[in-house]
């Protein structure tokens, strides 16, 4: 694998992480300040998540046909345009250059660019790594690619926090430009590899119903709901359980930082420094997540809360690359893009379901949500143990 090519892919996902995290920091409060309701703001992201789920698999298949490089570049350009399309109506309404009545539909359209086109970069990037890595290095390579995105999610609020001192729009324009630079680097440094070559034997198209695909999609979907409900409840949880603490916004920011940094550290420790096989990563990671949710539910102290987030991040850092790697190792070369696309299509499911499944549980009692997440994780670990494919592709 050309190191410069894979480095540009990592930089591309890093730029995506920058914008994705900063969008959640700045857009909701600014949109509400300009007149949108919480429901409208949440719908902006929900529509995008649905679009992502519906298109990711198609982009994976497109990378099989038209090449990994072309689809990865298209995704980054779409993501870059979505950042500009989201901040521009906010910028115009704030300066009374656009009627607020247009704000909601324009934000939906702007974010839809990310869901419809930005969703192309991830499956194409992971498929490229799968094409150019050996089986014994697959988990490590996937973890490093995933860590690039996570590092961006940590750096986004920090880097954006300095840029926003110039204007509120500056971080979006800078992150958009960085994404375009990444797309240019990928275009110039990666060969446009494609698995579609002339062959006497026609390739068999992958289906999500395949016995080598659906088990991974199932556990990824459940893990997605568990993770999304945690992310969307952190802000509420801090304000509801620790209302007497000073600087609650900083507590919330630190919560996200602890979760993201521990995930990155976990991926380095257990896929590089002290590598474990995929089966052990899945089992041990899920056990850590079960433990973290139980402690959040029963021990509502700020110190234990931070420790629980750290443990949750360690577990998540083990599970995600293990799922990606195991799925990839279960596929033939011609189905790598399709498989990566199917996996990408289920990760937004958690954000789609959280307002309807997780939040009502949280509204009843915050502890119930984390107990519910523990039960989801217990189901995952039972399924991993009893299904033979996870041991076979470790």
Q: Domain residues of the chain, as ranges?
A: 3-189, 214-392
Q: How confident is the model at residue 138 (pLDDT cuts 50, 70, 90)?
A: confident
- Kindly state the tokens that stand for 179: 């994404």
Mean pLDDT over each residue of the chain, to the nearest integer: 87
Please tell me the predicted confidence (pLDDT) of residue 5.
67
What pLDDT digit, counting tens, does each position of 48-79 carry? 889 998 998 899 889 988 999 999 999 999 99
Task: For residue range 287-336, list pLDDT tens digits in order.
Answer: 999 999 999 999 989 999 999 999 999 999 899 889 988 988 888 877 78
Domain 214-392 has CATH 1.20.1630.10: no
* pLDDT score of 198: 42
What Cα–Cα distance (Å) separates residue 202 from each residue in 162, 176, 217, 330, 340? 54, 41, 26, 19, 21
| Long-range Cβ pairs for the range 390-393 (8 Å, 24+) | 390/215, 390/278, 390/279, 390/282, 390/326, 391/279, 393/278, 393/326, 393/327, 393/329, 393/330
Q: Does 3-189 match 214-392 in CATH topology? A: yes
pLDDT recorded at residue 134: 85
According to the model, what pLDDT value does residue 4 have?
Answer: 61
Average pLDDT over residues 27-44: 79
* pLDDT score recorded for residue 202: 45
Between 38-66 and 3-33, two packed helices, what is the crossing angle to 10 degrees?
Answer: 160
Domain 3-189, CATH class in plain words:
mainly alpha
The CA distance from 271 to 183, in Å, is: 27
131 burial type by CB count under 10 A (0-12 exposed, 13-18 middle, 19+ buried): middle
- Mean pLDDT in residue range 20-25: 78
Cut 0.85: pTM above it: no
Residue 394 pLDDT: 57
214 or 333, greater pLDDT: 214
Mean local confidence (pLDDT), 119-124: 92
């Amino acid at each position: 694998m050309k190191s410069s090519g894979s480095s540009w892919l990592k930089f591309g996902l890093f730029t995506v992480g920058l914008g994705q995290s900063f969008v959640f920091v700045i857009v909701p409060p600014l949109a509400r300040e300009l007149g949108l309701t919480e429901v409208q703001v949440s719908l902006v992201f929900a529509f995008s998540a649905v679009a992502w789920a519906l298109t990711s698999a198609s982009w994976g298949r497109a990378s099989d046909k038209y090449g990994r490089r072309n689809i990865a570049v298209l995704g980054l350009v779409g993501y870059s345009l979505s950042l500009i399309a989201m901040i521009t109506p906010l910028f115009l309404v704030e300066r009374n250059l656009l009627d607020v009545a247009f704000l909601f539909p324009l934000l939906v359209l702007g974010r839809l660019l990310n869901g419809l086109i930005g969703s192309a970069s991830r499956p194409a990037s992971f498929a490229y790594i799968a094409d150019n890595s050996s089986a014994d290095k697959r988990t490590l390579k996937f973890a490093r690619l995933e860590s690039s995105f996570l590092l961006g999610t940590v750096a986004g609020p920090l880097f954006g926090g300095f840029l926003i001192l110039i204007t509120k729009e500056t971080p979006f324009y800078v992150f958009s430009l960085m994404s375009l630079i990444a797309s240019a680097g990928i275009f110039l440094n990666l060969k446009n590899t494609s698995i579609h070559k002339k062959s006497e034997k026609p390739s068999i198209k992958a289906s999500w119903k395949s016995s080598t695909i659906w088990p991974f999609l199932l556990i990824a979907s459940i893990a997605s709901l568990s993770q999304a409900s945690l992310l969307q409840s952190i802000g509420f949880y801090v304000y509801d359980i620790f209302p007497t603490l000073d600087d609650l916004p900083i507590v919330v920011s630190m919560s996200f930082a602890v979760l993201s940094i521990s995930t990155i550290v976990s991926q380095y420790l257990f896929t590089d420094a002290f590598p474990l096989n995929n089966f052990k990563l899945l089992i041990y990671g899920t056990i850590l997540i079960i433990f973290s949710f139980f402690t959040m539910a029963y021990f509502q102290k700020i110190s234990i809360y931070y420790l629980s987030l750290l443990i949750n991040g360690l577990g998540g850092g083990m599970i995600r690359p293990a799922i990606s790697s195991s799925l990839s190792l279960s596929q033939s070369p011609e189905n790598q893009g399709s498989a990566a696309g199917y996996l990408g299509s289920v990760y937004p499911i958690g954000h789609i379901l959280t307002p309807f499944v997780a939040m009502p549980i949280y509204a009843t009692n915050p502890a119930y949500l984390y107990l519910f997440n523990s039960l989801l994780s217990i189901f995952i670990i039972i399924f991993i143990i009893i299904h033979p494919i996870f041991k076979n592709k470790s």
